[in-house]
Chains A and B, each alone.
Chain A
Amino acid sequence: MKNLIIFLSAILMANTTVSQTIEVCNSCPISTIKKAIIQAKDFDTIVIKKGTYKEHNILIDKPLVLIGDSYPVIDGELKGEVITITSDNVTVDGLFVINVGTSYTEDYAAIRVRKSKNFVIQNVVLEKLFFGIYIEKSSYGKVYHNKIIGDAVEEYNSGNGIQLWYSNHIEIEHNYVEHVRDGIYLEFSDDCIIKNNVSAENLRYGLHFMFSNNDLYQDNIFENNGAGVAVMFSKKIKMLNNTFRENWGTASYGMLLKEINDAEIIGNTFEENTIGINIEGSNRITYKHNNFKNNGWAIKVRGACYTNHFLENNFLYNSFDIAYNSKVNDNVFDRNYWSNYTGYDLDKNGIGDVPYRPVKLFSYIVNRTPETIILLRSMFIDIIDFSEKISPVFTPDNLLDNNPLIKKISW
């Protein structure tokens, strides 16, 4: 056994010492990346020196390390895909890729990873792109510290920043994505970790899940997107400590949940969105320690949502705290702080003595006739809200927070 280990490590050592470094620059003997890849052996390192390389369809079909020396530009000249990775153990580091071709039949990407394992894509800057980093049927990869700046105008002819398709165990961290269709898009991708990314100004969603389970995203910032995050048809997703800001518009949400089960939404901040969270057909979700601040609607519940728990959240100065479109309620609201709460706390235990009803009659009216929004904060509306509060007729009568907190929660 011991011998075997020594033998193996010897092979490993031999392997690493054998691996070579190939330099590519405009005036070197090897002046194109493609040529370098053809000449390279497995586990070689290709260093690309500063300069502009007009190449597309670069195929990396062996385990190589591509390192850019002070951001060499790889110009795809709008002709198609730029880099395609089909081998395992490939590292791409420090490149500046521009001018990816646009096609209506094929998803051209700046960097595509196909059926590969253990790849690393880091410190890459992508501009003028169609799709950015497209990972298909791959696993155990890392996408770190990349900057993707698109110039998308219309949804139908633009691509996504980072797209995962049938890819598992991918880590996406510290990336910056803006002006593309979906900042980060996961489809059929399980067990992925998405951390510390910034996704802003995207046409559709900052982050988009489809049929992807057991994923975690945390400490991300989603700002000014069509909608911050759309989570659809997925199970067991953890959403922790993210910030959702200024997603404004008629169909804009901080977070859109559709057919989501058993998720955890903890410690997030929703600020100045038209709708903080829009929930549809989602069950058994825990919402805890979230801040909802200055949103149009903090939470809009569209229906078929059962056994959700809203615990210890702060609802601060939202135009509407909760909107509900049915009279049936099976969700629990408990121990939240509501800035609109007007009750009292005589026994001074920090919990209001009168239950709070987060659904106002006016939100029901606005649901029916959206134009009435113009009467928001009118005294007449305050009066009818008050009467509805005393005897609920239109809003679910069991929807109340029995233990509304008196002071804003901090954790």
Chain B
Amino acid sequence: MLKILKYSFFDLMRSRWSYVYFAFYLLLGIILLFLNNDLSKAVITLMNVIIVLVPLIGTIFGVMYYYNSKEFTELLLAQPLKRSSIFLGQYLGVALSLSMSLILGLGIPFVLYGLFKSDAIWDFSLLLITGTFLTLIFTALAFNIALSNENKIKGFGYAILLWLFLAIIYDGIFLMTLIMFDDYPLDKLSLVGTMLNPIDLSRTLILLKLDISALLGYTGAVFKQFFGTSFGLIVSFIMLTVWVILPVLRIVFKSKKKDF
């Protein structure tokens, strides 16, 4: 598996897209810092960007890589190799190279700007951790979609749809549900609803940092326990890990059964 991981990773490192992605974040970081002159404000803006963009790029990149390297995969399958290690190796190669572009692209300008001397370092670390988790999750989801769809166009369509659903439509439905059932106690429902969507989950992590004063304005013991203590942070991270593990397990499972 490690060999395949290494191969995919270096293959991607040589590809143009990784550089574009890296350059994009580098530019974003520099411009934000240039415009804001304020490290913590730039972190806030970046957080908003990351929870939308990272999933999008993760999904598209994952699907694209799978379809592009399909012939190579089939070649590998002919060798005496475990299927799970082939697909996991490829998955990790993509996910890690994307995460690296993200971490380096954003890290370099912030470090140059004096991150280590600033108190925004925790917010920034949280941002990078959240970004990495989102990359891992959405690349895994993309591999799932690609494995289930032979048709490239369909696969891309589903991938975009997935992103659109989780980033926007889900929240719309969520909001409507909350408004419709507002005669009932909703605090548990709203927290569960958040757990079920990795983008919302990352957003919650960010809210915990930025908007804690507003969140504590809501009367509700469950909310208070969740947001007022480190409980919320821990649960969110556990859920994010679960969100990585489940799709990865499905990749393993699906790839074992699939006919090529």
> Which residues of A are interface residues toward B (Cβ below 8 A)?
246, 248-250, 252, 272-275, 294-297, 317, 319-320, 365, 368-381, 383
Contacts and interface: CB of A to CB of B under 8 A. Distances in A.
A383 B187 CA distance: 24
25 contacts: A249-B216, A250-B218, A273-B213, A274-B214, A274-B216, A275-B217, A296-B214, A296-B215, A297-B214, A369-B179, A370-B220, A371-B178, A371-B189, A374-B193, A374-B200, A374-B204, A375-B171, A375-B174, A377-B211, A378-B203, A379-B52, A379-B167, A380-B168, A380-B172, A380-B175
A390 to B, nearest CB: 18
Contact of B214 (A365, A373, A381, A383): A373
B213 A373 contact: no
Given A248-B216, A373-B217, A373-B218, A317 B44 contact: yes
B219 A377 contact: no
Contacts of B41: 317
Nearest to A318: B214
A371 B214 CA distance: 12
Nearest to B200: A378
Contacts of B218: 250, 370-371, 373
B204 to A, nearest CB: 7
Contact of A297 (B175, B178, B217): B217
Nearest to A373: B218
Contacts of A248: 212-213, 216
Q: Of residues B41, B210, B214, B215, which shows the largest number of chain A Cβ atoms within 10 Å of its Cβ?
A: B214
Interface of B: 41, 44, 48, 52, 167-169, 171-172, 174-175, 178-179, 182, 186-187, 189-191, 193-194, 200, 203-204, 206-207, 210-220, 223-224
Contacts of A294: 213
Contacts of A373: 214-215, 217-218
B80 to A, nearest CB: 47
Contacts of A374: 190-191, 193-194, 200, 204, 207, 215
A382 B187 CA distance: 22
A320 B186 contact: no
A383 B172 CA distance: 10
Given A369-B178, A369-B179, A376 B213 contact: no
A272 B187 CA distance: 23
A269 to B, nearest CB: 14
A297 B217 CA distance: 9
What DSSP secondary structure best describes chain B's contact surface?
helix
Given A376-B207, A379-B167, A371 B190 contact: yes
A380 B171 contact: yes
A299 to B, nearest CB: 13
Contacts of A252: 216-217
A372 B187 contact: no
Given A274-B216, A296-B215, A319-B211, A377 B168 contact: no
B99 to A, nearest CB: 22
A383 B190 contact: no
Nearest to A296: B214
A30 B138 CA distance: 83
Contacts of B210: 319, 377
B182 A371 contact: yes
Contact of B186 (A371, A380, A383): A371
Contact of B168 (A297, A320, A371, A383): A383
A296 B219 contact: no
Contact of B179 (A274, A365, A376, A383): A365
A250 B171 contact: no
A378 B206 CA distance: 11
Contacts of A376: 207, 211, 214-215
Contact of B207 (A273, A275, A377): A377
